[in-house]
Amino acid sequence: MTKPLLEVEDLRVRFHLRTGTVEAVRGVSFRLGRERLGIVGESGSGKSQTGRAILGLTPPPGEVTAKRLSFDGVDLLTASKRKLRELRGGRVSMVMQDPKYSLNPVMTIGEQIIEAYRAHARASHAEARDRALAMLEAVKMRDPGRVFSLYPHEVSGGMGQRAMIAMMLVTEPDLLIADEPTSALDVTVSMEVLRILDELVTERGMGLIFISHDLKLVSSFCDRVLVMYAGRVVEELEARHLRDAKHPYTQGLMRCLPTLADDVHPLPTLNRDPSWAL
Amino acid sequence: MLDIQDLNVVFGTGRLRVEAVRNVSFTVKEGEAYGLVGESGSGKSTVLRAICGLAPITSGRVRVNGKDVTTPRTKDFYRTVQMVFQDPYASLHPRHTVDRTLSEPLAIHGEKDAEARILQALKEVGLGPSFRFRYPHQLSGGQRQRIAIARALILRPKVLLLDEPTSALDASVQAEILNLLDDLRRRLGLTYILVSHDLAVVAHLCERLLVMRHGEAVEETASDALRSGKASNEYTQSLIQASQGFTRLPSQPAPAKVG
């Protein structure tokens, strides 16, 4: 295997609160090459905080420590803010869950993409504009020129999400972190968005971290899956071998989903074993 | 139990006119669970809201127990029909305790014996009496949804309208709530109308379902037919496929594009 793009070792995220210290991520380690890695878990499992910590986006009282957190040889923990800013949105970018809250409401979609591009590349406004239009086309917008001059509230959720993906990919990042990129979208639209992401990963050889609560979706989309529970990775496995998961939590999560294929009444529920959280 | 004929719901006038629901008809028998499936904007929630008086019935007929509903709905109607909303974080008053939330419908309908009824309702949804004086922020998402269900059940309605009751919940909690709903229907002989975007959830809970798109009914089918993949409609097929997870197109190998 070639040198990994991202190395994470013993990542911990702590929040010191009035009521005591909460450790949201407790010793997560993984390596990522140019592949699709899924991180799955339920609310509060620390999957989003893991993604944020990599980009240095842990919200303030949070404290991030790790034995190693490096992206392509750059130590993200000791890197200067300037260096981090250069990486963020440039070589590493992040797609957030809900386009309604993560796009700037008072700027047109086109201007936002241009801003993102010019923050990282030396380019004239006209060049950037061409890039932005090309990018909107790459994410399968039907009429890129029209979408370019629209404000976020004027487009649908699916279009907003695609606009955000366009913005995140315009700088041609090496690593994309997607935090629940499709959970605000309808099933058929989310399949479209995934298809676009998939193409971009295969064509550009980008690394992708796909964070989601949806085990079924992740296992069908990613190459490798990390299953998180209470801030830890309880299981790591090849996505196609998800059916042979060993950990009772992963098995339980798989079983408790109703499926079209078989009709089980009542659904098996998850009995949480306190030892999983240890 | 419920008979809906040519239901139309129109919002706004002139340029802002939106036909949210167009000529939708279906009937639900007593004790049956009926599903409405579709994507956002398909009008599935609007149908529910029109039934219980939260959206106008522009034309068409809604009959409950053989009687046309009146606008505004009568108290009697709400004794028969109750609704559970999607987001238990939004549908419970943040500054009311569980006790107050549950006693409100009893007070409105002049029911006696509030104390016993509240304890009974809590028990039915699998929560103990210790939850009675908690505030919503002291409950998990699944517990909140249980309270919302308890509030709907406390008047002993015959029909429950369920608007995406599990889509804000984690998978393992969803399983618990679905089991609870299944169990309550059997024990109390309830009739359900379930709205969801998740085909698997609808097929799990309901016997029959209506697929909707752009405010219109696309196809009425049985869950068994869905299971055996017998959906005749193309749109239903695409929903079934999407619910199976992501599928790579056969044109996957990238180098195929060369030349």
Express each pLDDT in B84-124 by its tens digit: 998 888 899 999 999 999 999 999 999 989 999 999 999 99
Query: A75 CA to chain B: closest CA distance, Å?
Result: 33
Percent of chain A at pLDDT above 70?
Answer: 99
Nearest to A186 among B141, B175, B197 (CB): B197
Residue A2 clears pLDDT 70, i.e. is over it? no
Flag if B244 and A221 touch (Cβ within 8 Å). no
> Which among A191, A160, A100, A158 has a CA at the least distance from the CA of B241?
A191
Whether residue A33 has pLDDT greater than 70: yes
Question: In Å, what is the CA distance from A64 to each residue of A81, A89, A175, A204?
Answer: 15, 20, 20, 31
What is the pLDDT, as a whole number, of residue B252?
45
Please name which of A155, A157, A149, A65 lies closest in space to residue A113, comparing C-alpha atoms. A149
Q: What is the per-residue pLDDT across B181-226, written as a single tens digit (0 to 9) for each?
A: 999 999 999 999 999 988 889 999 999 999 999 999 999 999 988 8
The residue among B42, B204, B224, B240 with the most chain A CBs within 10 A of its CB, best to mutate, is: B204
- Could you tell me the end-to-end alpha-carbon distance of chain B, in angstroms, rounded to an integer? 63
- pLDDT computed for residue B249 by the predictor: 62
Selected residue with higher pLDDT from B255 and B209: B209
Q: Do A256 and B183 touch (CB under 8 A)?
A: no
Whole-number Å distance between alpha carbons of B124 and B150: 7
With an 8 Å Cβ cutoff, are A221 and B245 in contact?
A: yes
The pLDDT of residue B259 is 37
- Whether pLDDT at B63 is above 70: yes
Q: Is the pLDDT of residue A226 over 90?
A: yes
Closest of A132, A219, A199 to residue A170, by C-alpha: A132
B172–A269 CB contact, under 8 Å: yes
What confidence tens digit (pLDDT) does each residue in A240-257 have? 888 888 899 988 888 888
Query: What confidence tens digit (pLDDT) does each residue in A132-185 have?
Result: 999 898 888 888 889 999 999 888 888 888 899 889 889 889 999 999 888 877
Mutate to test the interface with A, among B183, B243, B246 (most CBs of A within 10 A): B246
Which residues, in sequence order, are bridge partners of residue B28?
A: B2
What's the rounded mean pLDDT across residues B248-253? 54
What pLDDT, on a 0 to 100 scale, did the predictor assign at position B250?
Answer: 54
Q: In this predicted model, which residue has the larger pLDDT, A164 or A260?
A: A164
Instruction: Please give the mean pLDDT across all residues of chain B.
Output: 89
Residues A217, A158: Cα–Cα separation, whole Å: 17
Residue showing tokens 């909140």: B144
Question: Residues of B with CB below 8 A from A215's CB?
Answer: 171
Task: Return the higher-pLDDT residue of B63 and A42.
Answer: B63
Query: Above 80 in pLDDT, residue B232?
Result: no
- The DSSP secondary-structure symbol of A4 reads P
CA distance A26 to A222: 24
Q: Which residues contact A40 (CB under 8 A, 6 or more apart)?
A: A47, A212, A213, A214, A215, A218, A225, A226, A227, A228, A253
Which residues of chain B are within 8 Å of residue A45 when distances are taken between CB atoms?
Answer: none
Residue among B37, B39, B172 with most chain A CBs within 10 A, to mutate = B172
Query: What is the band of B258 on the pLDDT scale with cuts at 50, 70, 90?
Result: very low
Best probe of the B interface among A256, A262, A263, A270, by most B CBs < 10 A, is: A256
When mean pLDDT is compared across A164-168, B32-36, B49-53, the lowest value belongs to A164-168
The minimum CA-CA distance between B177 and chain A, rounded to whole Å, is 10
* Alpha helical stretches, state H, A121-173: 125-138, 144-148, 157-169
B interface with A, Cβ–Cβ < 8 A, is 39-40, 141, 170-172, 174-176, 178-179, 182-183, 197, 199-201, 203-204, 223, 226-227, 238-240, 242-249, 252, 254
Nearest chain A residue to B238 by CA: give it: A188
With a pLDDT cut of 90, the percent of chain B lying above it is 64
Distance between CA atoms of A151 and A108, rounded to whole angstroms? 4
Distance from CA of A130 to the nearest CA of B (A): 24
When pLDDT is averaged across residues A14-20 and rounded to a whole number, the result is 88
Kindly tell me the number of DSSP H helices and DSSP E strands found in chain A. Answer: 10, 11
This complex has an ipTM of: 0.78
Q: Per residue in A186-210, is it b (16+ CB within 10 Å) or e — as a string?
A: bbebbbbbbbbbbbbbeeeebbbbb
- Percent of chain B scored above 70 by pLDDT? 96
- Asked if B172 lies within 8 A of A43 by C-beta distance, the reply is no
pLDDT at B256 over 70: no
CB contact under 8 A, B243 and A187: yes
Please state, rounded to an integer, the average pLDDT across all residues of chain A. Answer: 88
Helix (H) or strand (E) holding B235: helix B234-243
- Which structure tokens are listed for A33? 């090459």
Answer yes or no: do B242 and A191 touch at CB < 8 A: yes
Query: Strand A232-238's sheet: what is its strand order?
Result: A92-95, A175-179, A207-212, A36-40, A224-229, A232-238
**Residue contact B171–A269, C-beta within 8 A:** no
- The single-letter code of the amino acid at B249 is L
Contact A267 B199 (CB under 8 A): no
The predicted-structure confidence for A67-104, as pLDDT tens digits, reads as follows 999 998 889 988 898 998 888 888 999 998 888 888 99
Per-residue burial over B227-258, b = 16 or more CB atoms within 10 Å of its CB, e = otherwise: eeeebeeebbeebbebbebbeeeeeeeeeeee
Q: Do the Cβ atoms of B242 and A252 come within 8 Å?
A: no
